[in-house]
């Protein structure tokens, strides 16, 4: 069954582009903002990613998270929406090795809270899910609360938020100077400090600020706390425009695409099966067959194979050529790995040792 678009039942318009029977190792998740939806917020963005030549043809699947953000009679709050996001990610990303989140406005506030929930979870499954989140791309996300920059407009917005608090608590929670958002940032900054000292996993966070975004201007995105902790780029566009790239030359689109691809392509399924078999075979070889004496040779060979398993992109079974990584070739009825293009003979040796070790 080929990958295809399909709606996710029981959700507020969520959908995915995947083959449910054959999940890919990389998952790109979209999360829309306040009063947005899984389709209209992004328009062409998901389809641009899937265009031929963008680098996502193999090894990637997409999902777009939808939730209720009506402006009147909205019974949701940050906690309930974060829990819904967690469930969505667990069901869509349970087989993914790498997860990339692209979030707009309120979607980004939920994504950061999701990091806290997963990181601090008592359940190993959820902590492992946190460890697979590699990048978060925040488009127009007011981490310090949404508000117009002008003082008069800000005062009006505060009054409106106060009046509507009983019927839309969510809007109250994401206002400027929100205690809930401040607590989220404080905990995240503490995690950065703790995990950096311990060498633990930390997702990479990117912020994109529209140069005409009055909902999430630079002061509300970075504030006083994030300048030295997270990177940001100022891009052309308004709050509603920056998540809607017109084509693949769009500034924010190119930055996001290039950052995701830097994680490294992954093997197609046929290549991965071969490399896994090779990895198993290497483990059974005697140490002296590894080209070196002692355990170092074995460790080096297994490490090189593991690297190929996680960074090789495409394997053409007709030519036996790996487009990225090693070249897999057939010779005398057997397959062997040879060094990656440009490698020195010393780096090639672990691959050649496998052939030399055959009885």
Query: How far is CA 225 from each of CA 184, 200, 299, 319, rounded to the nearest angstrom?
Result: 12, 21, 42, 53
Contact 341, 354 (CB under 8 A): no
Taking all residues of the chain, what is their mean pLDDT, rounded to a whole number?
Answer: 78
3-class SS of residue 169: helix
pLDDT reported for residue 228: 87
Residues 208-224: pLDDT tens digits?
999 999 999 999 999 88
Contact 34, 42 (CB under 8 A): no
pLDDT reported for residue 338: 35
pLDDT at 266 over 90: no
Look at domain 4-262 and name its CATH class. Answer: alpha beta
3-class SS of residue 120: coil
Q: Is 298 exposed, middle or buried (0-12, 13-18, 19+ CB in 10 A)?
A: buried
pLDDT at 49 over 90: yes
pLDDT reported for residue 75: 78
Contact 326, 311 (CB under 8 A): no
Element (H, E) at 26: strand 26-31
pLDDT reported for residue 324: 39
Residue recorded with tokens 């398993």 = 309
Tally DSSP H helices, then E strands, for the chain.
Answer: 12, 12
Residue recorded with tokens 């057997």 = 334
Least confident of 146-150, 235-239, 300-304: 300-304
SS3 per residue for 241-278: CCCCCCCCCCHHHHHHHHHHHHCCCCCCHHHHHHHHHH
Residue recorded with tokens 């057939």 = 330
pLDDT at 20 over 90: no
pLDDT reported for residue 176: 87
Contact 83, 99 (CB under 8 A): no
C-alpha angle with apex 62: 116 to 189, nearest 5 degrees?
20
CATH 3.40.50.1820, the chain: domain bounds: 4-262
Contact 211, 235 (CB under 8 A): yes
From the list 310, 338, 312, 344, the residue with the least C-alpha distance to 325 is 312
R_g over Cα of the chain: 24
272-277 mean pLDDT:
62
pTM listed for this prediction: 0.74
Total Cβ atoms within 10 A of residue 156: 12
For residue 306 the two structure tokens come to 């593991």
Rounded CA separation 258/64 (Å): 20
pLDDT reported for residue 169: 82
pLDDT: is 323 or 78 the higher one?
A: 78
């Amino acid at each position: 069954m080929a990958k295809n678009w399909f709606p996710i039942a029981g959700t507020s318009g969520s959908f995915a582009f995947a083959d449910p029977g054959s999940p890919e190792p990389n998952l790109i998740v979209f999360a829309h903002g306040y009063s947005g939806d899984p389709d209209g917020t992004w328009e062409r963005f998901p389809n641009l990613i899937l265009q031929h030549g963008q680098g996502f043809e193999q090894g990637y699947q997409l999902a777009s998270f939808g939730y209720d953000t009506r402006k009147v009679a909205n019974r949701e709050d940050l906690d309930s929406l974060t829990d819904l996001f967690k469930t969505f990610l667990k069901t869509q990303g349970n087989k993914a090795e790498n997860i990339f989140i692209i979030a707009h406005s309120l979607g980004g506030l939920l994504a950061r809270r999701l990091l806290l929930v997963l990181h601090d979870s008592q359940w190993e499954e959820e902590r492992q899910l946190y460890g697979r989140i590699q990048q978060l791309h925040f488009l127009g996300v007011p981490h310090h609360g949404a508000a117009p920059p002008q003082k008069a407009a800000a005062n009006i917005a505060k009054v409106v938020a106060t009046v509507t608090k009983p019927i839309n608590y969510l809007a109250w929670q994401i206002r400027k100077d929100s205690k809930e958002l401040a607590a989220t940032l404080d905990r995240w900054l503490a995690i950065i400090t703790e995990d950096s000292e311990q060498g633990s996993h930390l997702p990479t966070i990117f912020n994109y600020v529209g140069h005409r975004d009055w909902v999430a201007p630079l002061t509300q995105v970075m504030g006083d706390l994030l300048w030295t902790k997270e990177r940001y780029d100022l891009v052309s566009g308004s709050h509603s425009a920056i998540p809607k790239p017109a084509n693949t030359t769009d500034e924010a689109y190119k930055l996001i695409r290039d950052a995701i691809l830097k994680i490294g392509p992954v093997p197609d399924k046929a290549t991965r099966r071969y490399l896994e078999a090779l990895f198993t075979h290497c483990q059974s070889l005697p140490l002296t067959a590894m080209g070196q004496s002692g355990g170092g040779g074995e460790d080096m060979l297994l490490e090189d194979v593991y690297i190929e398993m996680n960074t090789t992109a495409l394997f053409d079974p007709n030519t036996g050529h790996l487009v990225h990584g090693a070249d897999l070739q057939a010779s005398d009825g057997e397959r062997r790995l040879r060094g990656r293009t440009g490698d020195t003979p010393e780096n090639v040796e672990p691959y050649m040792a496998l052939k030399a070790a055959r009885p």
